[in-house]
A and B are shown apart, each in its own frame.
Chain A
Amino acid sequence: MPATSASRPAVVYAAGDPVPTLPPEQLEKNFAEIAPALTPDAALLEANKCLYCYDAPCTQACPTHIDVPSFIHKIATGNMRGSARVILDANPMGHSCARACPVDVLCEGACVLNDRDEQPIKIALLQRHATDWALGHDYQPFSAGPANGKSVAIVGAGPAGLSCARDLRRFGYAVTIFEEKDRPGGLNSFGIAEYKMRLPLALAEAKMVLDLGVEVKTGVRVGTDVSMRQLQNDFDAVFVAIGLGATRRLGIPGEDLHGVSDALVFIEHLKSNPHRETRIGRHVVVIGAGNTAIDAATQAKRLGAERVTLVYRRGPEDMSAYEYEYELAKHDGCEFRFHTVPKAVKGKDRVTGLECVRSEVGAPGPDGKRLFREVPDSGHVIECDTILRALGQTPRDDLAKALGLHVEGSRMVSDNPKVLVGGDCMTGGAEIVNAAADGVQAARQIHELLSK
């Protein structure tokens, strides 16, 4: 979960800057959910196409191992309560995963129908159908277990923290979440492209967890406002799921100029305010080629930027963005400048361009990514008025020390068996579904530990 920290510049554009203006109706259209929900009829038709595999590969491919054939079968039989329960039982973040999971590389990619040269079952849309039903009917499938007299503190109310809290409540633990932001949800609330999922849904999903009797202390930063020692004194165990920190800096001259910002800050601002209140320039450069870079680029375009250019020092085959994200960005009219290395941000009072050189790639290096070298005399300037950094988030080293954890590479590790770590801060950055799986797993581990 990203944190607003003093070190991170607030949003890019100040009043008076030249910004594109789109009519509100157009903005609403541009940010409408990208995949429309299935109608009940279409859901029934799709559900009936599912073969109901035994030991299904879709279930194996899901980090939370949702019993996919079972929940789809229940849709087919009209058992919507049962269907929603099967999904949410395995994955407390079932709503957001239905919208934001990279299903092409997970459940839908594993569907056996792919091997019959057919389209896979639309698992994500069916999952959304069932979870939307649950929200629409105010259906709470779970209840808190009988109080067992033990308590757990969770640091961070993102997908991992919420998932852990949900299952700990079901086991009967008293749970308190400490969240530095003013509302729960983590990246679900602040970091998912607007056209994939909106804030109210993330909050409703969080509420479903909190309604089981989870105490949340928002605006409280562990390590500053309350010490880790305090938590360890007051609670039987602690689960740390604080996500990652700010986006990496470019490390080139001029990057503190007005007009250069962290892509995540841009996305968060867009999600947390009416669309027209987020301002973007007319010529935007996004540096990086991961999924966050794509989210930033497509949304800049949808806000009305005339030209959006993604700059990446390697080639398309090296991008960490998923194929369908790349396709979406191209569809939205974003340009890609591959083999292009940023060297300096140009401008006096504010950004006017990004100076780059060309690069050539060679054989893969030790990290699997191919090595590259700069091409002499290839310097050029890409004119722009906005630059968004999307080079990946950094581990929250500052907090690690305060929490008594250490960082190995980009992963936080705990040596204390009663302090568990999960989510992005443990993995170095993964999907919501991985965070949810971590949270569920942590709850199980804590339960085992404290039941001894």
Chain B
Amino acid sequence: MADLSVDFAGIKSPNPFWLASGPPTNTYLQVAKAFDEGWGGAIWKTIGEPIINVYSRYGSIDLGKTRMVGFNNIELISDRPVEDNLKELAEVKRNYPKNAVIASLMVESRREAWHEIVKRTEDTGVDGFELNFGCPHGMSERGMGAAVGQVPDYTCQIVEWVKEVATIPVIVKLTPNVTDVTYIARAAVKGGADALSLINTINSIVSVDLETFSPRPSVHGKGSHGGYCGPAVKPIALHLLSAVTGDPQVKIPVSGIGGIASWQDAAEFIALGSGTVQVCTAAMHYGFRIVEDLADGLSNWMDERGHRRLEDFRGRAVPNVSKWEELDLNYHLVASIDQGKCIGCQLCWTACEDGAHQAIRRHERNNGNPVVEIIEEACVGCNLCSQVCPVDNCITMEEVPNEFPSTTWKEYMAGKGELAPRSVHFHTAEWTSKR
């Protein structure tokens, strides 16, 4: 069985699965149960300024009957007394010494305020801090959370204040609600951060109630933008993660967050350089028990692939994230339909016809003869048909080999390299008029 243990900026954890700071990490009761069920670590729900929450806090996007593919919230940081949080933090660390217990902090932007909360919290024996510079709703209106994380100078300044007194690792949690996350990441590094985590939630209005015209979640007929998370945000998280892990100026560990619900998701984050992965929405949806398959599935996959430790594949996808101009223009694909598997739904035809390149021919249904066929000379290898096809491996994308060496746009524009012949009549008026 693969070794899933991690040492993340000096914080040790039996596995990379951490509960992200949020409702599941609000109390001793929850975190202790989570550790009992197998979670490696937990970021306690953000401790800081006193707040009062509204009733009705979550909004959700369903896809058909699949619930919560996207999720948002307008809940603020912990509404419990700081003393209670610190007492329980100490207790959980004492009772679960092998698990990573991290305190998430957020106070007003004063040096003294940060010094005080850091010192008080460190006394609990926690393994590290996570500075919440990402909360996009409510707290940001009061100059905290994303209001800090959206300005590089503020980010750097507060990290410096924290590092003046902290003796344990400091993780800076970044907001995705910025134009270029690498500027903020670099500012955190400059301030002395030991690690980063991302993404916090994305600004969102999850839906509008068509009866009342109130945004959801609705608080007495009104709504406020909230933080979007859940499976739907994973692609955004992967992109921002790769931006940071691929930035040569950011050499500190990164904890990946955003829509992780399965071991495959976790493996993808780790392949893009995550040191640990943080999960919240999936645990809110299905409970702590999901960690069993997160760990089991990851371990089994690693065994199958011969990865003994997470380091064996961590960051393996990072070098493959490249600029568009560095992609090979001479790599040609064509769609191929396995007629034995085709069930004749014609979804590929209508998708290609209306949404792509009119490269599928359609026939009357007739005793098992092909209903759809690829017009190879018109196919641009875009993948759309293979993605709409409801039958696994019925439409596959096959490479069309050619003699030409790899040529990128950058090389091509520099007068280097040569393009392999492409179908002469793609999108010419002559081609379209023939149809």
Assuming A51-B390, A54-B350, is B64 touching A113 (CB within 8 A)? no
Across the interface, name the chain A residue whose C-beta is closest to B346: A54
Asked whether, in the complex, the Cβ of B347 is within 8 Å of the Cβ of A116, the reply is no
Chain A residues with CB below 8 A from B350, complex form: 54
CB contact between A57 and one of B365, B390, B391 (< 8 Å): that residue: B365
Nearest chain A CB to B367 CB, angstrom units: 13
Interface residue? B65 (CB, 8 A) = yes
Per the bound structure, the CA–CA distance linking A300 and B4 in Å amounts to 68
Per the bound structure, the CA–CA distance linking A115 and B65 in Å amounts to 24
Per the bound structure, the CA–CA distance linking A53 and B346 in Å amounts to 6
Per the bound structure, the CA–CA distance linking A113 and B65 in Å amounts to 19
Asked whether, in the complex, the Cβ of A112 is within 8 Å of the Cβ of B343, the reply is yes
Per the bound structure, the CA–CA distance linking A231 and B344 in Å amounts to 49
Per the bound structure, the CA–CA distance linking A57 and B349 in Å amounts to 15
Across the interface, name the chain A residue whose C-beta is closest to B389: A51
Which chain B residues (62-111) contact chain A, with CB distance < 8 Å? Answer: 64-65
A41-57 vs B, CB cutoff 8 Å, 1 = contact: the mask equals: 10011001001111111
Nearest chain B CB to A47 CB, angstrom units: 8
Per the bound structure, the CA–CA distance linking A112 and B394 in Å amounts to 14
Chain A residues with CB below 8 A from B349, complex form: 54
Assuming A60-B365, A116-B391, is B65 touching A55 (CB within 8 A)? no
Nearest chain B CB to A55 CB, angstrom units: 5
Chain B residues with CB below 8 A from A57, complex form: 344, 365
Which chain A residues (105-159) contact chain B, with CB distance < 8 Å? Answer: 112-113, 115-116
Interface residue? B345 (CB, 8 A) = yes
Across the interface, name the chain A residue whose C-beta is closest to B64: A48
CB contact between A116 and one of B65, B343, B362, B365 (< 8 Å): that residue: B343
Chain B residues with CB below 8 A from A56, complex form: 345
- Interface of B: prevailing SS: loop
Across the interface, name the chain A residue whose C-beta is closest to B353: A54
Interface residue? A76 (CB, 8 A) = yes
Nearest chain B CB to A197 CB, angstrom units: 29
Per the bound structure, the CA–CA distance linking A48 and B362 in Å amounts to 25
Per the bound structure, the CA–CA distance linking A53 and B347 in Å amounts to 6
Per the bound structure, the CA–CA distance linking A56 and B65 in Å amounts to 23
Nearest chain B CB to A130 CB, angstrom units: 17
Chain A residues with CB below 8 A from B65, complex form: 41, 44-45, 48
CB contact between A76 and one of B64, B344, B365, B391 (< 8 Å): that residue: B64
Asked whether, in the complex, the Cβ of B345 is within 8 Å of the Cβ of A112, the reply is yes
A15-59 vs B, CB cutoff 8 Å, 1 = contact: the mask equals: 000000000000000000000000001001100100111111100
Chain A residues with CB below 8 A from B391, complex form: 116
Nearest chain B CB to A399 CB, angstrom units: 41
Per the bound structure, the CA–CA distance linking A115 and B346 in Å amounts to 14
Assuming A51-B390, A54-B349, A54-B350, is B64 touching A112 (CB within 8 A)? no
Chain B residues with CB below 8 A from A113, complex form: 343
Asked whether, in the complex, the Cβ of B345 is within 8 Å of the Cβ of A51, the reply is yes
Per the bound structure, the CA–CA distance linking A223 and B349 in Å amounts to 55
The residue among A41, A45, A54 with the most chain B CB atoms within 10 A of its own CB is A54
Nearest chain A CB to B363 CB, angstrom units: 10
The residue among B343, B349, B365 with the most chain A CB atoms within 10 A of its own CB is B343
Nearest chain A CB to B381 CB, angstrom units: 22
Chain B residues with CB below 8 A from A45, complex form: 64-65
Asked whether, in the complex, the Cβ of A116 is within 8 Å of the Cβ of B64, the reply is no
Nearest chain B CB to A253 CB, angstrom units: 50
Per the bound structure, the CA–CA distance linking A51 and B347 in Å amounts to 8
A245-270 vs B, CB cutoff 8 Å, 1 = contact: the mask equals: 00000000000000000000000000
Per the bound structure, the CA–CA distance linking A140 and B362 in Å amounts to 38
Across the interface, name the chain B residue whose C-beta is closest to A55: B346
Across the interface, name the chain A residue whose C-beta is closest to B365: A57
Per the bound structure, the CA–CA distance linking A52 and B351 in Å amounts to 12
Nearest chain A CB to B411 CB, angstrom units: 41
Chain A residues with CB below 8 A from B346, complex form: 53-55
Assuming A48-B65, A54-B350, A57-B365, is B390 touching A116 (CB within 8 A)? yes
Per the bound structure, the CA–CA distance linking A52 and B345 in Å amounts to 8
Chain A residues with CB below 8 A from B64, complex form: 44-45, 48, 76
Across the interface, name the chain B residue whose C-beta is closest to A53: B345
Chain B residues with CB below 8 A from A51, complex form: 345, 347, 390
Chain B residues with CB below 8 A from A54, complex form: 345-347, 349-350
Chain B residues with CB below 8 A from A112, complex form: 343-345
The residue among A44, A51, A113 with the most chain B CB atoms within 10 A of its own CB is A51
Asked whether, in the complex, the Cβ of B343 is within 8 Å of the Cβ of A115, the reply is yes
Chain B residues with CB below 8 A from A53, complex form: 344-347
Asked whether, in the complex, the Cβ of A115 is within 8 Å of the Cβ of B344, the reply is yes
Chain A residues with CB below 8 A from B345, complex form: 51, 53-54, 56, 112
Which chain A residues (329-374) contact chain B, with CB distance < 8 Å? Answer: none
The residue among B64, B349, B350, B362 with the most chain A CB atoms within 10 A of its own CB is B64
Chain B residues with CB below 8 A from A115, complex form: 343-344
Across the interface, name the chain B residue whose C-beta is closest to A118: B343
Across the interface, name the chain B residue whose C-beta is closest to A47: B64
Per the bound structure, the CA–CA distance linking A56 and B345 in Å amounts to 7
Nearest chain B CB to A238 CB, angstrom units: 37
Per the bound structure, the CA–CA distance linking A243 and B211 in Å amounts to 49
Nearest chain B CB to A281 CB, angstrom units: 49
Per the bound structure, the CA–CA distance linking A41 and B365 in Å amounts to 34
A-B CB contact pairs (8 Å), 30 listed: A41-B65, A45-B64, A48-B64, A48-B65, A51-B345, A51-B347, A51-B390, A52-B347, A53-B344, A53-B345, A53-B346, A53-B347, A54-B345, A54-B346, A54-B347, A54-B350, A55-B346, A55-B362, A57-B344, A57-B365, A60-B365, A76-B64, A112-B344, A112-B345, A113-B343, A115-B343, A115-B344, A116-B343, A116-B390, A116-B391
Please give me the 4 A-B residue pairs with the lowest Cβ-Cβ distance, nearest first: A48-B64, A54-B346, A115-B343, A112-B343
4 further A-B pairs in the complex, CB-CB below 8 A; given A51-B345, A55-B346: A51-B390, A53-B344, A55-B362, A60-B365
